């Protein structure tokens, strides 16, 4: 029987997720890759074979802009594995113009926050049964620039926005990831499942590829050794594997020496974090979950 730790990760075919997947393979994990493109997974599998030959890699195709598809993939993952040791919610998007998902949500809210919520909720029973287990979610210290938060509005708003406004909305979705993690940590208290999140720092990973001259800027930053994504991938892997974080539930950590961070206002109180959880459940009831 294969005793490798089983790690399920989203957004692993590029950027920080790709580097994290390669490092996790070196560490000895069996990987469950949630991705939209089989071609990109095949390319990643070749890279994994080069750095860690024999690593088992399972593919689960899903479009994270469709929460119904996320739910379907989650059920497929749950049925495929007898246990899950780590779930890494890494996938993210920074959209500079509004795009509406098939479920009627703003794309950034859906991919950055609602998709991790749905996938985690779908796999929660399996994670608890697999304890000790971990849930790691990639957030951003930019959440401190999220401004105000209006839960019902921010979860469902689909109005157009400018490139300047896009930054605030992106950071707000990441603030919700931190709030989600800390509320999840409280809900999982005593189960042996640890929920943590991280700020991966500034990384040249193509997240802002929709901006004019993004490719030129990324190459220039690489040449100046600014925004090295290995540091961002490093904190993801540490939260997933390092025994030092086995009991750090609800923690929010920086890529800079794993320094503990505080959830920014206005999302810091236990009350508003619980309110976000309940508002999210209400928004998703009937869209993804029926009578759950």
For residue 145, give the DSSP letter: G
Query: For residue range 242-257, what is the model confidence (pLDDT) as tens digits?
Result: 999 999 999 999 999 9
pLDDT for the residue numbered 203: 54
* pLDDT of 221 strictly over 50: no
Helix (H), strand (E) at residue 12: none
Which is catalytic among the residues 81, 113, 161, 170?
A: 170
| Confidence band, pLDDT 50/70/90 cuts, at residue 122 | very high
Confirm whether 170 is a catalytic residue. Answer: yes
Range list of β-strands (E), 77-139: 86-89, 133-138
Q: Which of 142, 91, 98, 83 is nearest to 115 (CA)?
A: 91
How far from chain centre, in Å, is Cα 128? 19
Model-level pTM?
Answer: 0.92
Query: For residue range 82-91, what is the model confidence (pLDDT) as tens digits?
Result: 999 999 999 9
């Amino acid at each position: 029987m294969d005793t490798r730790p089983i790690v399920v990760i989203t957004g692993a075919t590029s950027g920080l997720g790709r580097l994290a997947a390669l490092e996790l393979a070196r560490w000895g994990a069996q990987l469950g890759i949630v991705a939209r493109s089989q071609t990109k997974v095949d390319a990643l599998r070749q890279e994994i074979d080069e750095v860690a030959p024999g690593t088992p890699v399972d593919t689960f195709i899903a479009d994270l802009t469709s929460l119904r598809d996320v739910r379907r993939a989650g059920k497929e993952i749950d049925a495929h594995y007898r246990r899950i040791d780590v779930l890494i919610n890494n996938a993210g998007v920074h959209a500079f113009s509004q795009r509406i998902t098939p479920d009627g949500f703003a794309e950034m809210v859906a991919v950055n926050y609602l998709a991790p919520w749905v996938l985690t909720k779908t796999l929660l029973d399996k994670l608890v049964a697999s304890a000790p287990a971990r849930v790691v979610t990639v957030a951003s210290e930019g959440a401190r620039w999220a401004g105000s938060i209006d839960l019902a509005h921010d979860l469902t708003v689909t109005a157009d926005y400018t490139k300047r406004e896009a930054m605030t909305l992106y950071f707000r979705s990441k603030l919700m990831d931190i709030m989600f993690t800390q509320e999840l940590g409280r809900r999982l208290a005593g189960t042996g499942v640890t929920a943590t999140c991280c700020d991966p720092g500034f990384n040249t990973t193509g997240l802002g590829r929709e901006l004019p001259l993004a490719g030129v800027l990324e190459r220039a930053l690489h040449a100046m050794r600014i925004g090295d994504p290995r540091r961002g991938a490093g904190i993801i892997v540490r939260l997933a594997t390092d025994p030092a974080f086995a009991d750090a539930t609800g923690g929010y950590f920086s890529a800079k020496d794993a320094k503990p961070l505080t959830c920014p206002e206005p999302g810091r109180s236990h009350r508003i974090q619980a309110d976000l959880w309940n508002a999210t459940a209400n928004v998703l009831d009937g869209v993804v979950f029926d009578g759950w």
